[in-house]
Chain A
């Protein structure tokens, strides 16, 4: 497997190379994305291991650009960042693997093995985060109470008095409920209530 490395910190690139060699063939190392892209036009490689955060660009951009040049190229992101949104964005951009820079030699080897077999690999820490809660609409207890009173066609003032809230807060609840129900009318809200078994 022919591998290219990209990281704006030479010392890191060298470190990765040391971890990979001699088991893997590192054909070239880069500290600037432009150099890499130019290289890709004339040299075919199997895997690009790239940093995420770089001075003028980021790993996801580089991934997109590189795959535009060589569609079969696999990309592994090696990042200091472990925030879920970044990982999600990377996955959407088509990266084949995502590792955090504190990766061990063993995990790196495992990742390369999986990727070479055409599978994706995300480090354990990140996989854990990717198991997202269902994005089902969830109502708070008070939101639920407000909804029930709206369905009973109570005014903001009446709801505010019943629940010991200010009218302004009730108005916010009302607006939020319509948005959550994706409704513009009370009928839409009733429909939402039935669908989610929220009817009083």
Chain B
């Protein structure tokens, strides 16, 4: 880094002292910087520094430094116009640079190769290199450098007389330079735009851009760039017949051109100014300027300007009625014109050829770009398709999983119901058995003991008789509660009648049994289940709802059995019943599930109506 700091201050002495450093890297950097600093002042000595840097970099095998040095040496050749040599060095530079680690430097090489190719007349190659550089700069967001590439591309198009294209690229560059705050870059581009609009005969636009550039260069005192902008503005004014301004601008341009001794441009300006003077009939002034221009043009070997000078001289002579002189000048002009024509023709053919090549290359590039874009779209499409596919598969699998789970849950539920049903059935069978045993076993023994005791009239025996009576009753009661015989013998209606009769004996309540089924018999399981459900509901009505009237209606229609229990008790709290700790509600639900029934509870403070419906299993 220090090397660059010194370089930026331009302190060449410091760089020279760094060259004697022990640090090889610093040494190489210093030599490279010296080469860079000297490239325009003294290309030969610059090259000596550069080659030293290359040699040292090779010694320590440092590709990065070697590349920088090779690049700098390449530039020294470029400065001298030796583009073939420059091409060799820049190509080596590019080969050493790693597009992964230093993309900007690689792009710099591409850009420079573009410049070299342009100078060598290979405009198509030049554009290809610029395009490569452009991509990298865009990706790396190196805006300043990108603007440089736009300018370079603009230059190629301008040379090919593709003015519209050139304008587009220059304008891109102007925008970028404005973004990065590089006013000089912007002004230079605007100056160029001023000249291109002249070619397009858009004098107003030309004038506008030239004047912007002039204002900036004057303000910043960048005099060497002023003449071009000034002459462009002058030409525009001339064409627009603003001769006073045209003369003024040319005079300012000529003054600076004289200062910088840029003879080629000077002769150009002089001829033009002379032309304006001639139009104003200031033949004396005009002739003086033309003579000077011709001398300069001849010295620099610019045939076109010489020819123009002769033409101008001819028209001045003609205006002054010196036809002989005029004819002489015309002849001289024609001689020059012929040679220029030949030259021009060859050049034109070459230009057309390169233009064709460029078009072909550009077409190829566009096609590649299009193909690339198409491929990108295809890729994006495929990626989206892929993700969609994954999504579909995922959702599908999820659906299957959910379905499987639902099926499983349903199966488990069914299994639970079957299990509960089996449990309930075995429980009921057990109850039935116990009831029978009580009747037929224990009961019989009590009966017989009673009969034996009954045979005498003893008071002790009488007491025993009373107890035995109670026992007998108790057994019958337990037996009934276990399983009413009438349920199995006569069905639900009769059994319910019996149940209600028994309840009425202990509690003040009215229970109405309405069997509208013609004593329809169901399976033992169904009847027992219904009986228990009703028993449970009556229990609830009495215990929790304090009902004193209950209506039970049984009906049967189209294979559907319907049970309805109404009471006049308090409002039934279904949630409370569900949450109650007792097994009553749970057992009832289990039995409803057993018969695959659907129940409904309508409750109000006036009472509750419970309905249960199910399709009967045919006995």
Please give the residue numbers on chain A whose beta carbons come within 8 Å of chain B beta carbons, in ascending order.
7-9, 11-12, 14-16, 18-19, 53, 80-86, 89, 100-102, 104-105, 129, 137-138, 140-143, 164-166, 168-169, 172-173, 175-176, 179-180
Contacts and interface: CB of A to CB of B under 8 A. Distances in A.
Contact of A176 (B469, B486, B564): B564
Contacts of B114: none
Nearest to A164: B604
Indicate the member of A14, A82, A104, A138 with the most B CB atoms within 10 Å. A82
B25 interface: no
29 contacts: A9-B440, A9-B444, A12-B451, A15-B447, A15-B452, A18-B451, A18-B452, A19-B451, A80-B447, A80-B476, A83-B480, A83-B485, A84-B498, A84-B501, A85-B486, A85-B490, A101-B472, A102-B447, A105-B451, A140-B566, A141-B568, A141-B606, A142-B566, A166-B600, A166-B602, A169-B611, A172-B611, A176-B564, A179-B555
Interface in B501-518: 501, 512, 514, 516
Given A18-B451, A165-B602, A175 B440 contact: no
Given A102-B472, A168-B611, A172-B562, A140 B551 contact: yes
B444 A104 contact: no
A84 B557 CA distance: 28
Given A85-B490, A89-B489, 12 more contacts: A11-B448, A14-B448, A19-B451, A53-B485, A83-B485, A86-B486, A102-B472, A142-B566, A143-B551, A169-B602, A176-B562, A179-B516
A159 to B, nearest CB: 12
Nearest to B562: A172
Contact of A138 (B446, B447, B452, B512): B512
B96 interface: no
Nearest to B504: A133
Indicate the member of A12, A14, A80 with the most B CB atoms within 10 Å. A80
A83 B439 contact: no
A16 to B, nearest CB: 6
Contacts of B489: 85-86, 89
Contacts of A81: 439, 476, 485
Nearest to B456: A105
Contacts of A85: 486, 489-490, 494-495, 497-498
Contacts of A16: 451
Interface in B432-453: 436, 439-440, 443-448, 450-452
B497 A175 contact: no
B485 A86 contact: yes
Contacts of B568: 141
Contacts of A53: 436, 439-440, 485
Nearest to B469: A102
A83 B499 CA distance: 9
Contacts of A168: 600, 611
Contacts, number: 130
A127 B498 CA distance: 14
Contacts of A172: 555, 562, 564, 611, 613
B351 interface: no
Contacts of B484: 83
A164 to B, nearest CB: 5
Indicate the member of B446, B495, B609 with the most A CB atoms within 10 Å. B609
A142 B497 CA distance: 22
Given A138-B512, A140-B551, A164-B602, A104 B498 contact: no
A100 B468 CA distance: 13
A19 B455 contact: yes
A173 B553 CA distance: 10
Contacts of A86: 485-486, 489
A70 B599 CA distance: 53
A102 B451 CA distance: 8
B584 interface: no
Indicate the member of B440, B447, B468, B562 with the most A CB atoms within 10 Å. B447
A109 B609 CA distance: 50
Nearest to B494: A85
Given A102-B469, A138-B512, A166-B602, A82 B448 contact: no
Contacts of A83: 480, 484-486, 498
B607 interface: yes
Nearest to B500: A133
A117 to B, nearest CB: 23
B600 A169 contact: yes
A84 B555 CA distance: 22
B454 interface: yes
Contact of B448 (A12, A84, A166, A179): A12
B444 A11 contact: yes
A80 B451 contact: no
A142 B465 CA distance: 49
A163 to B, nearest CB: 8
Interface in B555-596: 555, 557, 562, 564, 566, 568
Interface in B469-487: 469, 472-473, 476, 480, 484-486
Contacts of A11: 444-445, 448
A179 B476 CA distance: 36
B465 A104 contact: yes
A137 to B, nearest CB: 8
A32 to B, nearest CB: 15
Closest 8 CB pairs of A and B: A15-B451, A15-B448, A102-B472, A101-B447, A85-B494, A85-B486, A140-B551, A179-B516
Indicate the member of B439, B514, B562 with the most A CB atoms within 10 Å. B514
Contacts of A138: 512, 514, 551
A101 B443 CA distance: 8
Indicate the member of B469, B472, B485 with the most A CB atoms within 10 Å. B485
A83 B469 CA distance: 17
Contacts of A179: 516, 555
A53 B441 CA distance: 11
A178 to B, nearest CB: 10
Contact of A80 (B440, B455, B490): B440
Contact of A175 (B444, B485, B555, B600): B555
B450 A176 contact: no
